[in-house]
Structure 1
Amino acid sequence: MLSRTLLCLAVVSASTPLLADTVWLKNGDKLSGKIILFDGGKLLVQTEYAGAVPIEWSKVKTLESDQHLLVKQDAYTGEVAKSLQPAEDGKVTLANGDAPKTVELASIQQMLKPKPVVEDLVWKGNIDAALDYQRADKDTDDYDIDFKTTARHGRWRHTAEGEYNREFQDDVVTTDNWRGEYSLDRFLTDKWFWQGRLVYKRDKVEDLSRQRTVGTGPGYQFWDDELGAFSLGSLLNRTDYEFTDGSKENFYSVAMKWDYNRYLIGKKVEFFTNGEVGKPLSGVAEYALDSEIGLRYKVTDWASLNLKAERNIIEGTDDADLDKTRYTAGFGVTW
């Protein structure tokens, strides 16, 4: 009797498929995997056979999931569904015990895993480090570390970033600078936001030793999802320069800021570029450019290799002229 029971259990276990999320498409196809996120019109499903697959939300017929998911039908409130059950075309049922609710897929703006403290908090970032040692006619030691992290909750988004660069040639310091930046965005609509920003730069080698910038202005978020993000912002800035000889200058400027990243090859490779170009409203300088472009390759879920090029230009008076290009390769972590 015992052996017969065990045999039955084995047969049932072998014939029962592993629990997985399922997405039915309007063209009749069906995709099985694990729902990672829906945002920005894209549903991201992790599969065993094709990695992370993005699906246009407009192509989805209905879906099913045994996960707890936060389903948001507007920018402020959301409902944690214990599971998702398939419904008629263009709809899904949110199962919450005694009161299941069927909603239009078109009404859903976002789906993500609920967080234990702040349910709609989305936090992401990266830290990159690079070391370069050259032994030749001139021995060169080069160190570079930078970070960027973003946290969004409701209509607020916080962004903090910074970097530190130091270089020696034959034991003489040729580069020694750091930069910190904090910005706070308030989303007025799903795409438009207003930004306030503070930037501080310190350089112990160049004639331009300190830069302080405070700015504010509107911006537009084209998209922000698991596959990347792209935003443009316009700023009115107040900038203060301080030089090594003790002289100071300040001026107002208008600037355009961009921030773009995109994941490729099943999220293994990330292409990114960000920066700012500004035009002073007075004659202290003609223009200023601070930008970077690069690639990250994910070795594991959290570790990555990176290649970056940075360009910093200040074109204007003799005291303020600056033109530097920097290339780095290194190791980093992402989350």
Structure 2
Amino acid sequence: MSPRALLCVALAAACTPALADTVWMKNGDKLSGKIKVFDGGKLLLETPYGGSIALDWKQVKTLESDQELLVKQDAYTGEKAKSLHAADNGKVTLANGETPRTVELASIQQIMKPKPVVEDLTWKGNVDLALDYKRAETNSDDYDIDFKTTARHGRWRHQAEGEYNRESKDDVTTTNNWSAEYALDRFITEKWFWQGRLEYKRDHIEDLARQRTVGTGPGYQFWDNELGAFSLGSLINRTDYEYADGGKDNFYSLAMKWDYNRYLIGKRVEFFTNGEVGKPLGGVAEYALDAEVGLRYKVTEWASLNLKAEKDIISGTRDSDLDKTRYTAGFGVAW
């Protein structure tokens, strides 16, 4: 190819506008960017001029996109569209080869990038790390590592979380414990679900050395979208205690779980709280509380700084009450 032809190609490429998704609003506004996801009544549009913008789906007139997107008209099945084309007010055309189909925007439940193998899989999570080393008249080391991840496809949702804490002063360990939990939710409707969960806690310092819990019960998902989530669950639990001296207790209990998070300031800041409060049906303990509350500040798309407070109470155990409060500051990654 001659230099003149190469120059013409370069000029043509420079003059061609970069492909972008476009959203037309009912008030006449026209927004360009990249469609990230539509869920929970909000369309998240990533723009170079305003970051992530959450648009009210009811105010969208029509839209177009050159991305391959999974469009779901109910909570469990979807159609993979090669692209989206603008249509009449309140409609969009799903382009699939020679058979495009125009649908009402009001009939669409979700729009997302299809995943390999499980196309409607959504996976999110975070790992937080806090470290504190002090070398002075009194030497101290403090470690706190925890993770939480959620994966959902169709009617199923998997949740896993774990935590490890260790503190020492002058080579004497004062805190050394870890915990892990797995929960499986089966959605009966778009909001109601049934949960089964397993939890194990190990403490190498306290008198209450091991806790094992198996539970099941109904829950309700108030919302779950790109701007946050909130759910409540009620459980019937079977719990086993093992003490450092070899003693054992077991009992049934009723518990309430909550899980709430909310993104603020253009998704730069996340407020979150989750936990569980339970009342044993026997006489082993009066009540138990395991909760945390905190903030995350996103430094980049994947890195964040976090502040967190944790409370762990078991009142009325065999020998003495367990009452721990822990404050941490650290950094983490999220996806």
Fold match (TM-score > 0.5): yes
The alpha-carbon deviation at position 13 of structure 1 amounts to: 4.4
Kindly provide the amino acid, as one letter, of the partner of residue 157 in structure 1.
Answer: R
Aligned to 2:182: 182
- For residues 231-255 of structure 1, give each alpha carbon's deviation from its aligned partner in whole angstroms, at most 9, with x where no partner exists: 1111111111111121111111111
Residue 31, structure 1, aligned to residue 28, structure 2: no
Structure-2 change in CA distance of 1:11 and 1:278 (3 Å) = same
Aligned to 1:224: 224
Question: Partners in 1 of 2:244 and 2:317 — Cα distance?
Answer: 15
Kindly provide the amino acid, as one letter, of the partner of residue 332 in structure 1.
Answer: G
Aligned to 1:315: 315
Question: Partners in 2 of 1:306 and 1:318 — Cα distance?
Answer: 36
Structure-2 change in CA distance of 1:7 and 1:164 (3 Å) = closer
Structure-2 change in CA distance of 1:91 and 1:320 (3 Å) = farther
Aligned to 2:113: 113
Aligned to 1:252: 252
**Structure 2 stretches of 5 or more lacking a match?**
none
- For residues 209-235 of structure 1, give each alpha carbon's deviation from its aligned partner in whole angstroms, at most 9, with x where no partner exists: 010111101111111111211111111
Structure 2 counterpart SS, 1:58: helix
TM-score by length of 1: 0.96
- For residues 155-203 of structure 1, give each alpha carbon's deviation from its aligned partner in whole angstroms, at most 9, with x where no partner exists: 0011111011111011001000000100000000011100000100000
Structure 1 counterpart SS, 2:286: strand
Structure-2 change in CA distance of 1:10 and 1:243 (3 Å) = closer
- Judge conservation of contact 2:45–2:52 (CA < 8 Å) in 1: yes
- Judge conservation of contact 1:208–1:320 (CA < 8 Å) in 2: no
Residue 167, structure 1, aligned to residue 147, structure 2: no
Aligned to 2:292: 292
Question: Partners in 2 of 1:100 and 1:283 — Cα distance?
Answer: 65
Question: Partners in 1 of 2:241 and 2:185 — Cα distance?
Answer: 26
Aligned to 1:90: 90
The alpha-carbon deviation at position 17 of structure 1 amounts to: 2.5
What's the % identity of the aligned pairs?
A: 78
Question: Partners in 1 of 2:334 and 2:7 — Cα distance?
Answer: 47
TM-score by length of 2: 0.96
| C-alpha RMSD of matched pairs (Å) | 1.6
Runs of 4+ residues deviating >3 angstroms: 2-16
Structure 2 counterpart SS, 1:285: coil
Question: Partners in 1 of 2:11 and 2:159 — Cα distance?
Answer: 53
The alpha-carbon deviation at position 334 of structure 1 amounts to: 0.9
Aligned to 1:16: 16
The alpha-carbon deviation at position 5 of structure 1 amounts to: 6.5
**1:257-272 equivalence runs, <5 A:** 257-272=257-272
Kindly provide the amino acid, as one letter, of the partner of residue 284 in structure 1.
Answer: V
- For residues 33-60 of structure 1, give each alpha carbon's deviation from its aligned partner in whole angstroms, at most 9, with x where no partner exists: 1000001111000011110000111111
**Alignment coverage as a number of residue pairs:** 334
- Judge conservation of contact 2:157–2:185 (CA < 8 Å) in 1: yes
Aligned to 2:202: 202
The alpha-carbon deviation at position 31 of structure 1 amounts to: 1.0
**1:145-160 equivalence runs, <5 A:** 145-160=145-160
- Judge conservation of contact 1:72–1:79 (CA < 8 Å) in 2: yes
